[in-house]
Amino acid sequence: MKTLPTVTTFADTVAQVETNGEEAYGALIAQAVDVQEIDVGWTRSKQLWKPLMARGVFGGQVVAQALMAAAKTVESHFSLHSLHSYFILPGNNQMPILYQVERLRDGKTYATRVVKAMQRGRAIFSASFSFAVAEPGISFDHQVAFPKVPEPESLPSEDFRVEELLNHPDLEIPEKYRTYLQQRLQEQAPIDYRDAHVASVEELAKLTPVKSDRQQVWFKAQGSLNDDPVLHQAVLAYASDANLLHTAVRTSGLARTEIGMMASLDHAMWFHAPFRADEWLLYDMDSPRASSGRGLCFGRIFRRDGTLVATTAQEGIIRLSLREQEKRRQKAKKESKI
């Protein structure tokens, strides 16, 4: 039986980089989104990451790698302006993902690609990518206002908040949750996320759930990246999948213990202006609707100077835990008798 190539982890990548910390972290995210060409129209993942307690490979990484695969098939004067993707099956981080690129159209101004991600002969993800040539001097411009939020340097990092929660002297944290938090600290995080809402320690522990009609998060790649705009788009795609679906949870005011399952179903992006993913970007998110076990979320990504550089949309599965479902059924039954 033929053995499959092995895949690396974030920790493996950092260990292989014999440079300073900044360059190591830059190599970390660059490796995470990169793919290797193996035949005409075919590439494979170099590295895959399965988040703690997740069903499969991180969806943002699959989107980013598919983007890189598609971009390798277009001329350099084309740039990606939109992508639309669907998550079909959870990805297995113990074997590479193969990306098949189909060239649908090569025009003078626009080019279209369809990418199918495969494992064990089955499609686990599909996406369409549209590339365009810049048309300076003939466009019209407008954009929404940049929201008022604290500066990123004034906000605590995710690691700082986790450590604060773990070291809180008066807070009883369930052992299973404590183990999860300790494992999170040990992971090598390629993206620095900083929530504009500085939650109390009790909120972090989900003893008093955060409820808000929007979520705003500053983020940037750890370390420095080269100047390739395709790499920056791929890193943005990677980072944009984090936090977005959780906006629907925050809008509904659900606690961590009330959720049984969360998984992305689709992910769309539109790119509007140049940016660097290793500089601070603001992710402004809202969720207009949740129903039938699904939540719909939209996001706007701004440069620090206020320029809107990308827009995102995502729908995902959000199912209550069996215990919470039964609890709500019993409550509805009681109320119907009153």
Tell me which of 177 and 274 has the higher pLDDT: 274
Number of domains composing the chain: 1
What confidence score (pLDDT) does residue 28 get?
Answer: 84
What confidence score (pLDDT) does residue 23 get?
Answer: 59
Task: Answer whether residue 322 is part of any domain.
Answer: yes
Task: Answer whether residue 161 is part of any domain.
Answer: no
Task: Answer whether residue 72 is part of any domain.
Answer: yes
What confidence score (pLDDT) does residue 7 get?
Answer: 55
Tell me which of 24 and 104 has the higher pLDDT: 104
pLDDT tens for 57-90 read: 999 999 999 999 999 999 999 999 999 999 999 9
Task: Answer whether residue 183 is part of any domain.
Answer: no
SS (H, E, C) the chain: CCCCCCCECHHHHHHHCCCCHHHHHHHHHHHHHCEEEEECCEEEECECCCCCCCCCCCHHHHHHHHHHHHHCCCCCCEEEEEEEEEECCCCCCCCCCEEEEEEEEECCCEEEEEEEEEECCEEEEEEEEEEEECCCCCCCCCCCCCCCCCCHHHCCCHHHHHHHHHCCCCCCCCHHHHHHHHHHHHCCCCEEEEECCCCCHHHHCCCCCCCCCEEEEEEEECCCCCCCHHHHHHHHHHHHCCCCCHHHHHHHCCCHHHEEEEEEEEEEEEECCCCCCCCCEEEEEEEEEEECCEEEEEEEEEECCCCEEEEEEEEEEEEECHHHHHHHHHHHHHHHHC
Q: Which domain holds residue 125?
A: 10-137+215-337
pLDDT tens for 150-172 read: 999 999 998 888 888 888 888 88
What confidence score (pLDDT) does residue 135 get?
Answer: 82
Distance CA 267, CA 42 (A): 22
What confidence score (pLDDT) does residue 24 get?
Answer: 63
Tokens of 144: 């929404």
CATH number at residue 20: 2.40.160.210
Confidence of residue 19 (pLDDT cuts 50, 70, 90): very low
Q: Which residue has the tokens 């949870």?
A: 249
Active site residues: 241, 264, 314
Distance CA 46, CA 69 (A): 12
Confidence of residue 14 (pLDDT cuts 50, 70, 90): very low
Single-letter residue type at 58: F
Lowest mean pLDDT among 13-22, 252-261, 266-275: 13-22
Cβ proximity of 33 and 234 under 8 Å: yes
Confidence of residue 2 (pLDDT cuts 50, 70, 90): very low
- Enter the pTM of the model: 0.90
Interhelix angle 21-33/229-240, nearest 10 degrees: 80
Chain centre to alpha carbon of residue 239 = 4
Lowest mean pLDDT among 93-97, 160-164, 277-281, 334-338: 334-338
Task: Answer whether residue 326 is part of any domain.
Answer: yes
Task: Answer whether residue 98 is part of any domain.
Answer: yes
pLDDT tens for 168-186 read: 888 888 888 888 888 888 8
Distance CA 107, CA 127 (A): 19
Task: Answer whether residue 120 is part of any domain.
Answer: yes
Task: Answer whether residue 121 is part of any domain.
Answer: yes
